A = this chain, B = another copy of it.
Amino acid sequence: MLIQIEPNSKVAVSDQIYDQLSNKIRSKLLPAGEQLPSLRSLAKKLNVSFITVNKAYKKLEKEKLVYIKHGKGVFVGGKSSEKYEMDSPYDWQHNIAHSLVKKPFLLKLKPSRYPLSHSVVHHGLIPTAYIADQMDTMLQKNREILAIYSPIQGDDHLRHEISTYLYKQSRLKVDPQDMIITSGTQQAIEIITKTFIRYGDTVITQSPTYATSIDVFLNQGANVVSAASDEQGMILEQLEKLCIKLRPKLVYVNPTFQNPTGAVWSIERRMELIRLAEQYHFIIMEDDPTSEIYFDDVPPPPSIKRFDQSGHVIYLKGFSKILAPGVRTGVMVANGPILNLLLTAKTTMDLGTPFLLQKAILPFLSTKRMIDHLEKLRTALQLRRDRVQQIINQTLKVEFTYHTVSGGLNLWLALPEWLNTDELLHQTMQEGISFLPGSVCYPNEREYNHLRISFSILSEKDMDYAVQRLCELINEHASAKL
């Protein structure tokens, strides 16, 4: 078990120990029943005082994250659900040092009948038959693509098509030479983090933010700090203060139909973020999975990358959300010498995205059919958003707030502060209904009264039922609390 102490940090050493252990335990990376090092051995290993470690352990004990068996030692609390018990031949593995800090929430969420937790488009809204046919036609003509490696940077043809697509779709001019094809946007986030972030480097995110991005940053050893956002985007006065104090390496943003809130940054904030990046020399990672899915025929403002003259923005466009999650192809756009570094990281990661994934979306991307598909998606999802809001308004009996999103796949719902959506999830899962509990979207804050509902993943019938039932369960949960 690895605990890293940053001696120059402003965070007290006992809090550093507490934070790291707490993350490992809460996320179940350290399973229930696992023995922790003794106070003395940990103090010795970290070269800190006994008192410092004791302070961290006491806090963990108070929160019931650990318990003390007298004469035996300190153990992780909770019920054990692990396959491997003590005295197995694998016991030695508990002593392997590793660099992980947090287990992603996704790994803990069991499959459910009604996964409102998943920000994915229902297969009925994806032209799967057409994509499958096009793919077959393409494969019959170019069967050798099954038998060869793709160029590491990605297929030339696909990079040209994406360049055309980005210009047509959002007037973003990108030289195909400045693109790297990735296996989904998650991989791009990992590549960038791996390349630029080392232990103790600061990454700034919005708050709340995309949950699994937090896991990438933490597991790379980053100091993850959040800047609050309002409806216009990140509050940049706050960001500037953090820049002065912490000199971040990376600022991660999702300015259009943000995950999880659905908020859209104003043009002014987009431009101002670039100015700050130029002044404080941080890299902006702009994640754009769903800007095509706008409602009321009002396209969102241009991407931040459109304003980038100095190579501060790495732009990530994923096609999983709008096109084919089972294919998972994305693109990472960077200008300047850092492209070379990112390409090195991509090479060691997988030798390039498999040709089949790249060629699978190629025939569809530049067709009229794709334009029609996006149009249809916008219409269908807007109706679904309205429907979900209607059900919530009619059914939910506790106080709640949400902002009507102008695009994207999700609705972000705030419940009264005395309700805990982590607890609620345990209950709804009994009936096969899942949602994303807000707590996993906050890097630092302890916020427990939000939830994210996908209005995109289920059939309309299932969605109606699941949202209705979810609201009823919230009502019941609230009644029981009162």
Interface residues of A (CB under 8 A from B): 2, 29, 31, 82-84, 88-90, 92-100, 102-104, 106-107, 111, 118, 120-123, 126, 128-129, 131-132, 135-136, 139-140, 143-152, 177, 183-184, 186-187, 190, 194-198, 212, 215-216, 219, 249, 281, 283, 309-311, 324-328, 335-338, 340-341, 343-345, 347-351, 354-357, 360
Contact = CB atoms under 8 A, between A and B. Distances in A.
A326 B310 contact: no
Contact of A325 (B103, B149, B341): B149
Contacts of A249: 96-97
A143 B120 contact: no
B107 A344 contact: yes
Copies of this chain assembled into the complex: 2
A340 B30 CA distance: 10
Contacts of A144: 123, 128, 326
Contacts of A29: 340-341, 344
B147 A349 contact: no
A468 B343 CA distance: 34
B97 A198 contact: yes
Of the candidates A31, A106, A149, A351, the one having the most CB atoms from chain B within 10 angstroms of its own CB is A351
B183 A152 contact: no
A195 B98 contact: yes
A99 B196 contact: yes
Given A84-B337, A144-B123, A148-B326, A100 B357 contact: no
A88 B335 CA distance: 11
A35 B178 CA distance: 24
28 contacts: A29-B341, A29-B344, A84-B336, A88-B336, A89-B310, A89-B311, A90-B336, A93-B336, A93-B338, A96-B281, A99-B194, A99-B196, A99-B197, A99-B198, A100-B344, A106-B152, A107-B152, A107-B344, A111-B151, A122-B147, A123-B147, A126-B147, A132-B136, A132-B139, A149-B328, A186-B351, A190-B350, A326-B354
Question: Which 6 residue pairs spanning A and B have beta carbons closest together?
Answer: A90-B336, A123-B147, A128-B143, A326-B355, A328-B354, A123-B144
A281 B337 contact: no
Contact of A123 (B129, B148, B341, B347): B148
A325 B97 CA distance: 34
Contact of A337 (B93, B129, B152): B93
A167 to B, nearest CB: 21
A324 B460 CA distance: 39
Contacts of A95: 281
A284 to B, nearest CB: 13
A326 B149 CA distance: 5
Given A186-B348, A351-B186, A147 B325 contact: yes
B90 A311 contact: yes
A123 B143 contact: yes
Contacts of A184: 350-351, 354
A128 B97 CA distance: 44
B360 A106 contact: no
A118 B198 CA distance: 34
Contacts of A216: 348
Contact of A347 (B31, B92, B104, B151): B104
A139 B120 CA distance: 20
Contacts of A92: 281, 310-311
Nearest to A335: B90
Given A186-B350, A336-B93, A349-B187, A121 B147 contact: yes
B326 A145 contact: yes
A440 B150 CA distance: 21
A348 B190 contact: yes
Nearest to A27: B344
A190 B349 contact: yes
A219 B103 CA distance: 24
Contacts of A336: 84, 88-90, 93
A239 to B, nearest CB: 19
B120 A148 contact: yes
A139 B326 CA distance: 11
B337 A90 contact: yes
A465 B106 CA distance: 53
Contacts of A151: 111
